[in-house]
Amino acid sequence: MAITFTCQCGQRLSARDEAQGRATKCPKCGASLTVPRAEPATQQSSQPPRGSPPPLREIAGVAAAPPSMPSPVAPVPEPQTPAPLRSRPDRRGWIIADTGLAICYWVLIVAAVAFGIITLLVVVGVADPGSLVSVFGGSGAGRFVAVVVFWCVFAWLASFVAMVTGWFVCCGIPERTGTRQLIQGSVACVGIAVGLIVLLQVIGLVMTPSMPDPGDQFAGGFGARSGAGRASSPAEVQKSQQEFMEAMRKGADAAKTMARISNIFSWLTALALIAGNASFALFLGALGRHLGQSALRPWSYGVAGLQGALALCMTGLAFLVSDTSPRAAKPLAILSTVLLSATYGGLIYLVYQARRVVPAE
């Protein structure tokens, strides 16, 4: 039967009955110890009962001398509680990130369906994406198509707002993943885009001149002046016409300048949104690598590359088409549509795979 005792350092030790009263050392702190003697009940229980045969070594005539070397003392292992896989703050961050990814996943599906319907209607030639006047004045099939396009555009814009919400929620992902900067970059790009849109509206209100009324040209030449009681002279008519033409020229120049500014701001806004999508794709790839799914990384690079090609197409539509080569508008628009569709597919796949490995439980 083993004797159990405790060292002054707190280490629990055990030794055989034969080692009681002998010197030993603690394997943990090295202190010299004496193995305590067992209780009398223990000693009686350790002796063989009456009538039992003697030990073999006594039969063989061997003296049962105690060994000269102290018996080894084996430390008793202390129970250890397993460390948690993730601390509580990390678990909360994973739950937040999974919620953001879920928002992005369903929003991307809705946006992809709406974009696909709009693209199909435009390709078959039954809808004009630049004009929805028939919603209010059309009838029959034309009115129905316009209503469908209107609601698809509305769904696409609402999906964009919800997508940004999902990005913002994903910013709560644990810092140790090393991916928080990428998703924060996506939110920052969207903030830049919204700021550019607001700034464009302010510039438009400031720069847009009040265009003269075409009726003013005839008021001075053929109408009577207020309170004058006489017709305008030829010199007054000519002066009024010159003033009218000058105002029209200034208004046209201001409209052209505003169109160029609007074109540039639209291009910058598109680039900011494209950068946001590319940063989101890289975030998904880095997240997959952190969670052991390295196959997402090439996909994220591919989606980011599609965003780069889309940025080049938008640059061509903003500058080359409007000024030098109007015939290139249609091919660039078709290529942009293809790239945007491929982006939707790639992002949906990335988000789906990322949600499968996020430890949200």
Query: What are the pLDDT digits (tens) for 14-35?
Result: 777 777 777 887 877 777 778 7
Structure-model confidence comparison of residues 188 and 236, the more confident one: 188
Please state the φ and ψ torsions of residue 293, each to the nearest 5 degrees. Answer: -115, 80
Q: What distances in angstroms separate CA 238 from CA 121, 223, 249, 252, one per listed residue?
A: 52, 14, 16, 21
- Using the Cα atoms of residue 201, residue 206, residue 207 and residue 212 in order, give the sign of their dihedral: positive
Is the pLDDT score of 295 beyond 80? Answer: yes
Residue 333 belongs to a domain: yes
pLDDT of res. 74: 52
For the chain, how many structural domains are there in total?
Answer: 1
Q: Residues 101-134: pLDDT tens digits?
A: 999 999 999 888 888 887 777 666 655 554 444 4
d(CA 151, CA 106): 18
Q: Is residue 38, in this structure, part of any structural domain at all?
A: no
Average pLDDT value over all residues in the chain: 74
Asked if pLDDT for residue 59 goes beyond 60, the answer is no
- Structural domain including 146 reads 90-357
Over residues 299-303, mean pLDDT: 93
The answer to the question of residue 8 being in a domain is no
* Contact criterion met (CB below 8 Å) for 288 and 97: no
Strand pairing report for 12-15 and 3-6: antiparallel
In a domain, 34, yes or no: no
In a domain, 63, yes or no: no
For the question of whether the overall pTM of this predicted structure is more than 0.85, the answer is no
The tokens for 28 are: 């943990």
In terms of phi and psi (left: phi > 0; alpha: psi -120 to 50; beta: otherwise), the region of 51 is left
Question: What distance in Å separates the CA atoms of residue 142 and residue 118, rounded to the nearest whole number?
Answer: 14
Amino acid at 31: A
The reported pLDDT for the residue numbered 225 is 45
**Average pLDDT, integer, range 38-60:** 52
Is 80 within the bounds of a domain?
A: no
Q: Is residue 128 helix, strand or coil?
A: coil
40, two tokens: 């009398």
Q: Which residues is 3 bridged to in the sheet? A: 15
Contact residues for 310 (Cβ-Cβ < 8 A; gap 6+) = 274, 336, 339, 340, 343
pLDDT at 303: 93
Q: Has residue 84 been placed in a domain? A: no
* 237 belongs to a structural domain: yes
Residue 149 has pLDDT above 80, yes or no: no
- The predicted model gives 42-53 an average pLDDT of 51
